[in-house]
Amino acid sequence: MKIALLQCNSVTGDVAGNQARILEAARRAAQAGADLCVTPELALCGVAPGQYLRAADFAQGCRAALRNLAEALRDGPPLLVGAPVPSVYVAGMLSNAAVLVDKGKWQVVSRKVYQNMNQNGDQGGDVRYFDRGVSCGILTLHGWRLGVALCEDAVAGEGAFWQTRYASGHNPLMELIQRGVDAVVHMAAAPFWVGAQEAGEHMLSHVAARHHVHLFSVNLVGGNDSRIYNGQSLAFDPTGQLMARGKAFAEDVLVVDTNSHDADMVEELCQSVEEAEWRALTLGTRDFVRKCGARRVVVGLSGGMDSALVCCIAAEALGADNVTGVLMPSPYSSEESLTDALQLADNLGVTTVTLPIEPLMRAFEATLKPGLDLFPACDGDVTFENVQARIRGTLLTSLANRAQALVLNTGNKSEGAVGYSTLYGDAVGALGVIADLTKTRVYAVARWYNAYRGAEIIPRNVFDKAPSAELRPGQKDTDSLPPYEELDPVLEALLEPSAERQDKPLDDLCLEVRHKLFRAEFKRRQEPPALHVSRTPFGAGWRAPVAGRYRLP
């Protein structure tokens, strides 16, 4: 049998557009002789539709699209498509379903089984709209019995479909195996994070070999708000050997012949963590901007590494013609920062505009004086440092208004973790492009990018100079923070604590970083959505009280 894995980039809510994308992919698969086409989970409506599912006509629109696909593919191969359908278990709810479109009709084959409903933070969004599901379905086609499973990513820990069971002892996967299947069809929407692909392949290979079945796993691709889906759909034979792997971070129609092991069907994995992060952030930026209906972006260029990398990602994702770099020097900005920013923009072919902020700084100081005189000055006052950042934020958003563009935020995870940012200033933007990369990861990806391009697109001086916000004479980030090479390992340990560290006392640096981490939660709640590339991103993988006070006896 030939099974086609349709690695789709669906737009959430765009049922009409997704219908057309799926139809085009299915027709390509038909030309390749496919006996069955399979889409990822919720490919028809897009992943994480949230409140769209509450709209009275949304489910009706999905059913209309299923009828359209059935008619269009009347003479084509059968299609398994992920879509929301009315629940048969709970009145007024929907099922996250696998629907078979065949011979002009459609019918539900399988419904998603939520193993740990309301316990897994990653499931917490859409499960409120879907029923829990009872068991997976089986499809018989060309003499094959195919168990159809819609489930979480293969490495979701104890909540993973592949390794957990209900308290009653019911295990949906084992039920499929015991009912007798020749293959498992896994319709997934597994978000990217560094290491997930390799871990998922290991798990799926183990499942195929352990139960001696073929396993076909089709994954979504594309950016959806903060989440990025990397595709790389998979096929394994009953020994667990990898038969095929789809493209990374790109749409694909992967037609797998169960009678053939063709090395050309196995696309390569990314060659490094930096390549994977770069490709994920580029795809996430492109899809966020375009799916929001925009075409252009505005990036504040400071001459530092963060804004340099964001500008490179934006130029790659959207084309240099759609990126405007904005230089906003103050009296404290160094000449080399301006030179570095202009050199970067010239290397990328990005248009720039320079807007000096000193006149605005003076105007703010004069206007604020009567109010500030009401309050005594204190040591470490950062009022006018923050004013500079907020002036810049106003300029960027104003340009974006006129250009009908989005502002790309340039803050990194290290800064976001400890609150080293100014709300409504350098924290403005529609999207935090590198907000899930620590500062050390930013430098690593930047080094990879220059090597990848075979040129110093990001000027050497940007790598060599000490990081600085340049908000006062001689300022360095280390005036307020530990060196990033010390901060980042501590931060990563706090965000993903391991069992062996649980009982160990925290040293002074860890205590300081944890204190800043908890205190900065109110800022993170107001910052732009971040593209997620780590296992524990802020917002989804991490949540702390805003008005709490962490204090122990």
Give the active site residues.
Answer: 41, 112, 151
Amino acid found at 140: T
> Closest by alpha carbon to 492, among 542, 546, 552?
542
Neighbours of 71 (CB within 10 A): 12
Instruction: Report residue 435 CA to chain centroid gap.
Output: 11
Give dist(CA 183, CA 139) in Å, integer.
Answer: 10
Contacts of 389 (CB under 8 A, 6+ apart): 421, 422, 425, 426, 469, 471
Q: For residues 508 and 99, what is the distance between their CA atoms, to the nearest angstrom?
A: 56
Say how far apart CA 49 and CA 331 lie, in whole Å. 47
Take residue 192 and report the two structure tokens written for it: 């990217």
Where are the alpha helices (H) located in 298-334, listed in sequence order?
305-318
Q: Which CA distances in Å does 202 have to 83, 103, 495?
A: 28, 37, 25
Handedness of CA 69, 71, 72, 78 (dihedral sign): positive
Dihedral class, residue 64 (left if φ above 0, else alpha if ψ from -120 to 50, else beta): alpha
Q: The dihedral of CA 307, 312, 313, 314: what is its sign?
A: positive
